[in-house]
Chains A and B, each alone.
Chain A
Amino acid sequence: MAKIIEVENLTYAYGDGSAFVHDAISDLSFSIEKGEILGIIGHTGSGKSTLVQQLNGLLKPTSGRVLFDGKDIWENPKEIRKVRFQIGLVFQYPEYQLFEETVFADIAFGPKNMGLSGDELTERVKEICSVIGIPESYFETSPFDLSGGEKRRVAIAGVMAMRPQVLILDEPIAGLDPKGRRDVVNMVAEYRKAYDATVLIISHNMEDMAMLADKLLVLNDGKLLMYDETRNVFSKPEVLREAGLNVPIVTRVFEELKAKGYDVPTDIFTVDEAVTYLSNRKAGGSRA
């Protein structure tokens, strides 16, 4: 598979002395394959937000490079805006950035900034909404009249409408109820399927990560702690715990069973895996 993003010796230092609330990044190098879903985890202040803001050129690295499709995104600083259309970033609580009078106009804001207008613009908005399931009957309503979960979806659609090849989402399901969470997860999956996109998700929720991510990138105090397939990362609970993180709850249940002396595997990361394992074992009947 082709590499879509390459990060080389990326370092970012906040120079204004107010580093108290910010998180710096030091000497990160890694690459992301086209089409995969990458989870980014780390405790608050570990550098996750600083990292993703450098991937789409909102922050300029102090040193090091970010390559998109093999080209340095800062090669021509005047063109940095174009990078943001290719690498879409959805911030935490994106519903707070809604501002237009209608849902349609708000979703159209990004494509309009790309230079689309008239029928082309209308088509673009309609297309993205049909892909991710926002009904056209919403178009003329005010985004401020929607429920919390619906606002979130419209805000995410506003970034998707630029049709970025890489979609980065910072805590996209934080604060939503189970239905709202399912809706957001589904729309991201639909988008990915339709446009063959690469997806990066920041989350504190290990259970969601176990379900969604192919690979995990673990940050600790601005440094790369682990970067591997999700299963392999969750197989190293002691490393995660040292970084103030944990394995999914269901994995902890199996660790506990093992501690009690039962012969069970500890590489079970989702509820489905656990149910399958326990059912098979019961059917098999014997203790290995």
Chain B
Amino acid sequence: MLKDITFGQYIERHSPIHKMDPRAKLMLLILMIVFLFLSHGFAGLSLFVILLFAGIALSKIPLKMFLRNLKAIWIILVFTAVINLFYGSGGVLLVSFWKIHIYSEGVKRAVFMALRIMLLIMLSSLLTYTTTPNDLTDGIESLLSPLRFVGLKNAVHTLAMMMTIALRFIPTLVEETEKIMNAQKARGADLEDGKLLDRIRALIPILIPLLISSIRRAYELAEAMECRCYNGGEGRVRMKRLHYGKVDLFAAITCVFVCVGIILANYYINF
């Protein structure tokens, strides 16, 4: 539920993957995605499959949670596969009717593309299932911090502050929306039926009070932040420091092996 965005998709477990530094997880995920797209063939992908299943097993999160995320994008998967089915023209001609010709190369390509997207989604899930949005925010802020040397210091801090406040206030606003909806329903507002235009019009009694209250909240929050010596992030030192640990090192080495494996597979195994 949206109300519990503080924990987002996070699933609490005690596992080495959960213990990893969010920065390490983010960087390694990006590295893996790059190599996923550099990989030419099934040999390379099989390395990712091994890596992914090792990760899932270590995370102690049931496989079906990962498959659930795939269900949400099945249309994209089917679409990608079908488009690619007609694309290649190498190999054996398998099907031919009217103007449509499907070659074995096309089938291979379709499976490859679909598998690649599945791996992408499942690897990303491994990050979001094992990292709280708060840790992710801290990780992103920390990773972007080198930008301050090119004059973007405020941008990085502002972005992080925005994410923090969003995480803090989304549950509050969701609750408030529910309250206002109920209050207007108690006055007979009809939010479920009617034509599209009527339904859009029915949103006004909800959106206006919500907007007014959000502005009031923003104003009060700004004052409260000022009272707590907030100065646009000037001279701010975070209490929580991120630390790389042994797990991060192991994970990094494993991923480097996978990368080397991909390069070798791309050169020597043509499958």
Direct contact of A and B (CB under 8 A): yes
User: Which residues does chain A contribute within 8 Å of B188, judged by CB atoms?
Assistant: 81, 84-85, 109-110, 113-114, 162
User: Which stretch, A93-101, A219-227, A233-241, touches the partner chain B?
Assistant: A93-101
- B205-A99 in contact (CB<8A): yes
In angstroms, how far is the closest chain A Cβ from the Cβ of B198?
Answer: 12
- Provide the bound-state CA to CA distance between A159 and B184, in Å: 10
Output the residue of A56, A99, A158 with the most chain B CB within 10 A. Answer: A99
**Is A266 interfacial (CB 8 A cutoff)?**
no
User: Which stretch, B13-21, B89-97, B116-124, B175-183, touches the partner chain A?
Assistant: B175-183
Beta-carbon nearest neighbor of B1 in chain A: A16
- Provide the bound-state CA to CA distance between A113 and B183, in Å: 13
- B187-A18 in contact (CB<8A): no
User: Which residues does chain A contribute within 8 Å of B204, judged by CB atoms?
Assistant: 99
- Interface size of B by CB at 8 A reads 21
- Which residue in B179, B186, B189, B190 is a CB contact (below 8 Å) of A159? B186
Chain B interface main SS type: helix
Beta-carbon nearest neighbor of B185 in chain A: A58
- A113-B1 in contact (CB<8A): no
- Which residue in B3, B175, B209 is a CB contact (below 8 Å) of A97? B209
Beta-carbon nearest neighbor of B189 in chain A: A113
Beta-carbon nearest neighbor of B180 in chain A: A97
- Provide the bound-state CA to CA distance between A118 and B175, in Å: 36
**Is A51 interfacial (CB 8 A cutoff)?**
no
- Interface size of A by CB at 8 A reads 26
Beta-carbon nearest neighbor of B3 in chain A: A18
- Provide the bound-state CA to CA distance between A90 and B184, in Å: 10
User: Which residues does chain A contribute within 8 Å of B1, judged by CB atoms?
Assistant: 16, 18
Given known contacts A18-B1, A113-B187, A162-B187, what 7 new A-B pairs fall within 8 Å (CB)?
A58-B186, A85-B188, A89-B186, A91-B186, A97-B184, A109-B184, A159-B186
A interface with B by C-beta (< 8 Å): 16, 18, 21, 53, 56, 58, 81, 84-85, 88-91, 94, 96-99, 109-110, 113-114, 144, 158-159, 162
Closest CB pairs A-B (n = 3): A113-B188, A99-B208, A97-B183
B interface with A by C-beta (< 8 Å): 1, 3-4, 175, 179-180, 182-190, 204-205, 208-209, 212-213
